[in-house]
Amino acid sequence: MRITAVYERSVPLDSAIANAYIDFRTMTASVVAVVTDVVRDGEPIIGYGFNSNGRYGAGGLLRERFIPRLLQAAPEDLVNGGGDNFDPFKVWDILMRGEKPGGHGERSVAVGVIDMAMWDIVAKVANKPLYRLLAEQIGDGSPDERVFVYAAGGYYAPGKDLSQLQEEMRQYLGMGYTHVKMKIGGVSLDEDLRRIDAVLTVVGDSSRLAVDANGRFGWDEALRYAEALKPYRLFWYEEAGDPLDYALQAALSEVYPHPMATGENLFSHQDARNLLRYGGMRPATDYLQFDCALSYGLVEYLRTLEQLGRFGWSSRRVIPHGGHQMSLNIAAGLHLGGNESYPGVFQPFGGFSDHLAVDNGYVRLPNAPGIGFEEKHALYDLLRTLTP
Amino acid sequence: MRITAVYERSVPLDSAIANAYIDFRTMTASVVAVVTDVVRDGEPIIGYGFNSNGRYGAGGLLRERFIPRLLQAAPEDLVNGGGDNFDPFKVWDILMRGEKPGGHGERSVAVGVIDMAMWDIVAKVANKPLYRLLAEQIGDGSPDERVFVYAAGGYYAPGKDLSQLQEEMRQYLGMGYTHVKMKIGGVSLDEDLRRIDAVLTVVGDSSRLAVDANGRFGWDEALRYAEALKPYRLFWYEEAGDPLDYALQAALSEVYPHPMATGENLFSHQDARNLLRYGGMRPATDYLQFDCALSYGLVEYLRTLEQLGRFGWSSRRVIPHGGHQMSLNIAAGLHLGGNESYPGVFQPFGGFSDHLAVDNGYVRLPNAPGIGFEEKHALYDLLRTLTP
């Protein structure tokens, strides 16, 4: 049982949208295909992985360091003790050989992409959907059969006015979502409040609307927004300040009594632990959004979840960033609180199986072995072009 | 005044040595040459940059994101208000366009390498050594004319015994160094203590020997080493635990009264600020080792130094990791406490001007305009091959 080839490519995330920090028109994602010599139905089993939005593809790092380490490893160092499947934990150790501690960014994307492909392989070899395999091998044996998802959108775009923003949110509700998210911080507070008011005329219940500043605010502005948002009692107020400014997050907890959410720009269990140690976040109120595809994959995510337990957090307070099927499987298999979803953007990566509609804010899991990419045709059409 | 071309290459750091974490035989560094249309003595002014050891070259990131942004920038967005020199602060903003906050690793190397080349250019255009330019434009106008340097070595190597370790240290003292550093954590505590004892028979005064664990220890081992090292009263005990485990650093401060040092694996002012906020480090006792070449360059380093001031630290407590001439210039121009030096390893990057010997623990600064690479021939011979 061995890996016979690894293919990677950077593809554009062609979205004419912007949040408070970046213009997605220049954003890329890495996609990889890890080919094995395990034959199923006459074809070799292939695992696929990609990184979610917000960070760039890691093609250079994959080619320079991580794919060579994987291909140069002895086959027996990549499989489990029984020799009947690959072992993502051993693969992780191989990938991280010669890497110093600290500095968790970029390489965390490269490793996350390969880790995703390895879990896809492991579940395909075991011939079951990944969420079931995770529940059996790591969780309590009993996966969730549906996962809460919310529609992340409300981006700034050139010429986009309030009625277009409302129409976007109306579409999400029409698709079956109950909760939606919009960006703030790209315009003035007054204008953002008008945007929020406009969206609430569509969404109705303010506890179903989250707002996301993408880490743009300094202390004054973060606190000013907190004051202005307080009366709305929103679903959550996300990433107000710099993701590493734990003191700001803690200060917000002092003045903002409603849910806050952050974590998508922390890429290791050490960074996550620092947020829990110093960020003043409240296990009964707040949400954590770590994204395995940007942060060394599921192997590292399990270490992060272990830290959560130590700090008194339930896994149900975790609703990952990224809107991809890997996190959907983790959410169902390990009882997270839900998953982000980008019904309108970041295609073909955003969204889940083609034939599984969102129903009253929940989505069901694919039945295909692996992560389920084969049930999302636009994505699978791209992934299958990776191999010759 | 414009940039006409940027060349980059990854070169091996061919050292058959290892610290507690990595084997340097597979380590690379990026070198860049930024070519301008400013002509001096009939030749275009070229700035050079490279990254220091411990992190890999950033060739993929340079080619995918950072060099294209630099070359696509409008020339007027890269120069100062008077139009008579390039502006590294404006260049930095161009490089970081479209980058989200958090995740400070890898890209911090790519930006650091280009930033170094830009400061080399700025000082060459101004026709003065960089340390003088920094003193005049950013510091107090009066640079240090010599900088404390210590010899970092004492690596583990296959077959290296105590007598070879002693001979290595004897050589450093013979070169004019007064203070030396050796690795710990790659073998048992007992064996490390034997290595320390052996080195002290050569160095004599234990306050002239630092030890470096390269972040390898968990809490138990870090505290066990602290207890065992305490009687030695060493120069410092460096990077005991994971660089992001600020709580461990703070715990060590409770039990270890002598100097400690860390920071080489923190790559942004936000990470540095967290160390100052949470790491329990003592401004009158400890040392900070942030390395600009790995952490977004001098532009970001100035933000880090500003944070130090806010937390009551003198710049004299900063002795950067990396052993390169960029930090040497910063140390002299902005009154840092000194600089690391690798007299035996990481050639041709380690060390300073060929004709400036270390004298009683101090080295003088080069007179050449720029950073001074032209006065270090083995390095300059490599750098000049970058351009056609």
Tell whether B316 is covered by a domain: yes
Under 8 Å between Cβ of B295 and B307: no
Under 8 Å between Cβ of A46 and B38: no
Under 8 Å between Cβ of A358 and A149: yes
**pLDDT, tens digit, 9 for 90 and up, residues B59-95:** 999 999 999 999 999 999 999 999 999 999 999 999 9
Between CA B61 and CA A165 the distance in angstroms is 35
Between CA A383 and CA B246 the distance in angstroms is 41
Q: Which two tokens stand for residue B102?
A: 């958090």
What parts of chain A have a pLDDT lower than 70? 14-25, 344
- Count of the separate structural domains present in chain A: 2
Contacts for B190 with CB less than 8 Å, ≥ 6 apart: none
Chain B CB contacts of A271 below 8 Å: 244
Under 8 Å between Cβ of B3 and B71: yes
pLDDT at B20 over 60: no
Q: Which two tokens stand for residue B36?
A: 């301008």
DSSP 3-state of A190: helix
CB atoms within 10 A of CB B141: 9
Query: Which CATH number fits the domain that encloses residue B68?
Result: 3.30.390.10
B147/B244 same-domain check: yes
Active site residue B128: no
pLDDT of residue B354: 87
B53/B157 same-domain check: no
Residue of B17, B30, B100, B268 to mutate for A, most A C-beta atoms under 10 A? B100
pLDDT of residue B19: 61
Q: Which two tokens stand for residue B344?
A: 């035996």
B250/B366 same-domain check: yes
Q: What is the 3-state secondary structure (H, E, C) of chain B?
A: CCEEEEEEEEEECCCCCECCCCEHHHCEEEEEEEEEEEEECCEEEEEEEECCCCCCCCHHHHHHHHHHHHHHCCHHHCECCCCCCECHHHHHHHHCCCCCCCCCCCHHHHHHHHHHHHHHHHHHHCCCEHHHHHHHHCCCCCCCCEEEEEEECCCECCCCCHHHHHHHHHHHHHCCCCCEEEECCCCCHHHHHHHHHHHHHHHCCHHHEEEECCCCECHHHHHHHHHHHHHHCCCEEECCECCCCHHHHHHHHHHCCCCEEECCCCCCHHHHHHHHHHCCCCCCCCEECCCHHHCCHHHHHHHHHHHHHHCCCCHHHECCCCCCHHHHHHHHHHCCCCEEECCCCCCCCCCCCCCCCCECCEEECCCCCECCHHHCHHHHHHHHHHCC
Chain B CB contacts of A59 below 8 Å: 60, 64
pLDDT at B17 over 70: no
Catalytic option among B104, B179, B183, B335: B183
Between CA B287 and CA A143 the distance in angstroms is 50
CB atoms within 10 A of CB A378: 12
CB atoms within 10 A of CB B7: 17
Which of A103, A107, A266 lies at the smallest CB-CB distance from B102?
Answer: A266
B113/B258 same-domain check: no
pLDDT of residue A353: 85
Helix ranges (H only) for A62-159 are 67-72, 88-95, 107-125, 130-137
Tell whether B381 is covered by a domain: no
Between CA B95 and CA B114 the distance in angstroms is 9
- Do B102 and A54 make contact, defined as CB atoms within 8 angstroms? no
A267/A301 same-domain check: yes
For residue A66, is it left (φ>0), alpha (ψ between -120 and 50) or beta?
alpha
Closest approach of chain A CAs to the CA of B216, in angstroms?
A: 8
pLDDT of residue B131: 98
CB atoms within 10 A of CB B220: 8
Residue where the block lists tokens 């990396």: B322
A104/A145 same-domain check: no
**pLDDT, tens digit, 9 for 90 and up, residues B29-60:** 999 999 999 999 999 999 999 998 889 999 99
Please identify every residue of A annotated as catalytic: 183, 321
Q: Which two tokens stand for residue A275?
A: 């947020």
Rg (CA), chain A: 20
Q: Which two tokens stand for residue A74?
A: 């002895």
Tell whether A132 is covered by a domain: no
- Do A270 and B245 make contact, defined as CB atoms within 8 angstroms? yes
Residue of A106, A265, A268 to mutate for B, most B C-beta atoms under 10 A? A106
For residue B246, is it left (φ>0), alpha (ψ between -120 and 50) or beta?
alpha
User: Among B78, B106, B128, where does a domain finish?
Assistant: B128
- Do B99 and A22 make contact, defined as CB atoms within 8 angstroms? yes
Residue of A11, A26, A100, A106 to mutate for B, most B C-beta atoms under 10 A? A100
For residue A203, what are the CA distances in angstroms to A114, A179, A388? 39, 8, 47
A353/A269 same-domain check: yes
ipTM of the complex: 0.95
The nearest alpha carbon in chain B to A65 belongs to B56
**pLDDT, tens digit, 9 for 90 and up, residues B319-337:** 999 999 999 999 999 999 9
- Do B265 and A56 make contact, defined as CB atoms within 8 angstroms? no
pLDDT of residue A20: 57
User: Among A87, A109, A127, where does a domain finish?
Assistant: A127
In 3D space, the residue among B196, B179, B192 whose CA is nearest the CA of residue B232 turns out to be B196
- Do A21 and B243 make contact, defined as CB atoms within 8 angstroms? no
Catalytic option among B321, B324, B335, B376: B321
In 3D space, the residue among B199, B197, B257, B198 whose CA is nearest the CA of residue B233 turns out to be B257
Paired residues of A15 in beta bridges: none
Residue of A24, A217, A244, A270 to mutate for B, most B C-beta atoms under 10 A? A244
- Do B271 and A244 make contact, defined as CB atoms within 8 angstroms? yes
Tell whether A252 is covered by a domain: yes
Which of A104, A242, A294 lies at the smallest CB-CB distance from B101?
Answer: A242
At A121, the amino acid letter reads I
- Do A242 and B278 make contact, defined as CB atoms within 8 angstroms? no
For residue A53, what are the CA distances in angstroms to A63, A108, A182, A210, B67? 20, 14, 16, 19, 22
Q: What is the pTM of this model?
A: 0.96
Question: Rounded to 5 degrees, what are φ and ψ at B117?
Answer: -65, -35
Question: Rounded to 5 degrees, what are φ and ψ at A342?
Answer: -115, 80
More confident residue, A107 or B352: A107
Tell whether B388 is covered by a domain: no
Query: Which CATH number fits the domain that encloses residue B363?
Result: 3.20.20.120
Which of A60, A101, A294 lies at the smallest CB-CB distance from B61?
Answer: A60
In 3D space, the residue among A108, A105, A103, A81 whose CA is nearest the CA of residue A92 turns out to be A108
Closest approach of chain B CAs to the CA of A179, in angstroms?
A: 25
Between CA B180 and CA B153 the distance in angstroms is 7
User: Among A105, A127, A149, where does a domain finish?
Assistant: A127
pLDDT at B23 over 70: no
Between CA B358 and CA B341 the distance in angstroms is 10
Which of B55, B100, B265 lies at the smallest CB-CB distance from A22?
Answer: B100
Tell whether B349 is covered by a domain: yes
Residue ranges making up the domain that contains A203: 137-386
pLDDT of residue A17: 60
B225/B320 same-domain check: yes
pLDDT of residue B13: 76
Under 8 Å between Cβ of A195 and A162: yes
B173/B294 same-domain check: yes
User: Among A250-254, B197-201, B255-259, B346-350, which stretch is predicted with the lowest mean pLDDT?
Assistant: B346-350
**Burial of A48 (C-beta count, 10 Å sphere; 0-12/13-18/19+):** buried
B331/B222 same-domain check: yes
pLDDT of residue B153: 93
Tell whether B17 is covered by a domain: yes
Residue where the block lists tokens 């010759």: A388
Per DSSP, A374 falls in state G
Between CA A138 and CA A141 the distance in angstroms is 8
Under 8 Å between Cβ of A69 and A61: no
The bridge status of strand A287-288 relative to strand A339-341 is unpaired
B22/B87 same-domain check: yes
Between CA A188 and CA A190 the distance in angstroms is 5
In 3D space, the residue among B365, B361, B301, B300 whose CA is nearest the CA of residue B132 turns out to be B365
Chain B CB contacts of A240 below 8 Å: none
Question: Rounded to 5 degrees, what are φ and ψ at A230?
Answer: -50, -50
In 3D space, the residue among B96, B135, B129, B124 whose CA is nearest the CA of residue B112 turns out to be B96
**pLDDT, tens digit, 9 for 90 and up, residues B109-153:** 999 999 999 999 999 999 999 999 999 999 999 999 999 999 999
Tell whether B150 is covered by a domain: yes
Between CA B149 and CA B353 the distance in angstroms is 13
Q: Which two tokens stand for residue B287?
A: 């040392």
Active site residue B183: yes
Between CA A48 and CA A33 the distance in angstroms is 5
Between CA A272 and CA A237 the distance in angstroms is 18
- Do B102 and A245 make contact, defined as CB atoms within 8 angstroms? no
pLDDT of residue B18: 64
- Do A61 and B60 make contact, defined as CB atoms within 8 angstroms? yes
Chain B CB contacts of A107 below 8 Å: 105-106
Under 8 Å between Cβ of B276 and B250: no
| H helix or E strand, kind and range, residue A10 | strand A3-12
B123/B144 same-domain check: no
